[in-house]
Amino acid sequence: MRKTLKLFSISLLFGFTTSFGGLVDAVSIVVDGEPITLYEVYKTGQETGLPKEKAVEYLIKERLKDKELKRLAIVIDDFDVNQEIERIAQQNGIDSLKLRTILVNKGVDWDKYKQNIKEKLKEQRLYQKILSTKIQQPSEETLKEYYQLHKDEFSIPEAINVIQYSAPSRQALQQVMQNPMASVPGVTQQAQTIPSEKLNQQLLFMLTKTPKGEFTQIIPAGGQFVTFFIQDFVNKKPIPFEKVKERVYAKWMEEKRKEAIESHFEKMRAAANIKVLRIP
């Protein structure tokens, strides 16, 4: 009897392993001859939190990106990656060796970090190539029209009503952000109205870009950590166009780039030969 049970358990395990192996190898979708496996869909969903349908769309777009990278002969080598790492390190006032030490101490896999840098550089160069012939420089009139349509984005309040939460640890503030009604040891709070003119540009930007009823990101301040809960913006007024012209241009360009990239890949997807062999 025991022998029978043992054999049954082994056969179950073997069956599960074989089934899992089939899941890994089974091709779900083919995009212009490039396969997407069922396991890739599953893994992408697990890593990104996307539902299956969104994970499939993400992977199809990745295959189309790979096709464009080959067509445009875009290659990123180790020299490019190391240069970018040096740039990131210098931006933070350290060298690349110090950057590596900090990241590794935080549990970051250095090889994966470098691979992520490589993928981002590929994407940047691909988008630069795609956009090089698609966007014309805007006229002054175009920028003024954009400013009028999005005037709220280029406005600042006279003051901001906030509740400031302070704590000796980031974790304590994270608990408050998850449950504002909770009493967390070590956390102090203070309601205040902060005049915009008293804020530096970086803090003003962070506060005004946080929606009402939400917390800002956690920042270090005076040996502690701080987050602000935004209650209200007092008397918002638009900044004159000439003072924010560069910001208007940057926002307009960002929007047009996004539209152009989406349009490019939508056309590629429409023209692609996509075969669904197995529904994920």
At residue 31, the pLDDT reads: 94
Q: Which residue has the tokens 């210098």?
A: 90
Please, which pLDDT band fits residue 23 given cuts at 50, 70 and 90?
low
Say if residue 8's pLDDT is above 50. Answer: no
Q: Are 89 and 32 in contact (CB under 8 A)?
A: no
Choice between 280 and 34, residue whose per-residue pLDDT is larger: 34
274-276 sheet: strands from edge to edge: 34-37, 27-31, 274-276
**β-strands 34-37, 155-167: how paired?**
unpaired
What tokens does 215 get? 């917390």
Enter the pTM of the model.
0.66
Long-range pairs for 36-41: beta carbons < 8 A, 24 or more residues apart: 36/60, 36/63, 38/278, 38/280, 41/280
Instruction: List the single range of 196-200, 239-243, 259-263, 269-273 with lowest mean pLDDT.
Output: 196-200
Mean pLDDT value across residues 34-44: 92
Q: Are 220 and 122 in contact (CB under 8 A)?
A: no
Tens of pLDDT, residues 54-90: 999 999 999 999 999 999 999 999 999 999 999 999 9
Tens of pLDDT, residues 185-220: 888 899 999 999 888 888 888 998 899 999 999 988
Domains of the chain: 1-71+240-280 (1.10.4030.10), 78-131 (no CATH), 147-238 (3.10.50.40)
